Structure 1
Amino acid sequence: MRNDQSGDRRGEREYAVVKRSVIVGGHKTSVSLEDAFWTSLKDIAMRRGMTLSTQIASIDTDRRTSNLSSAIRLYVLEHFRTRAASTMFIGERLAPSTRLAPLGPE
């Protein structure tokens, strides 16, 4: 069964690799990332009050891989892992009466 075409196209766009030129440390380079990573990276930079170029330069400085695109993907992944973990820890500090009950038998 086929999904709605507009939904398919949106999903295709999120997974499509997009190559963009960026300036890092005064040098022009190209970075290829899936659209979902570009969107997430822009969001992270905006929330930190940074330009996208400044955020990428920061990642470039701290990266442990020779591939900038991979370093950016790992950075975005780590950002959201950290956010998810901090959300879980906040939930664990709630009083027992405010926690959600388990869904099934334990």
Structure 2
Amino acid sequence: MSALQRLSDTVAARGSADPDDSWTARLLAAGPEKCAEKFGEEAIEAVIEAVKGDRDRLIGEAADVLYHLLVMLAARDLSLADVEAELSRREGVSGIAEKAARK
């Protein structure tokens, strides 16, 4: 099992935890909008580090982005498996063709 899958499982398990004891539970209790806001903040921080070129800080921010993405998905009753299924569906399809099919 990958670290990302273990994190996804942890996020799912913490959804029922006490918000006083779990940051994940606290975020989920705040609702999908707050989870999306936090994801956006972390994504912006990752972009800033990518532009600056600090490898270690970008790795840390990328980890934060993945965590907050999983929390945001959980807030809407979605999982890493749902995203993986979509990635599998797109596998072998040109990015250009995939984008054109969305229109």
TM-score (norm 1): 0.27
If you compute each CA radius of gyration, which structure gives the higher value, 1 or 2? 1
Higher strand share: 1
Higher helix share: 2
Q: Which protein has greater RCO, CA pairs closer than 8 Å, 6+ apart?
A: 2
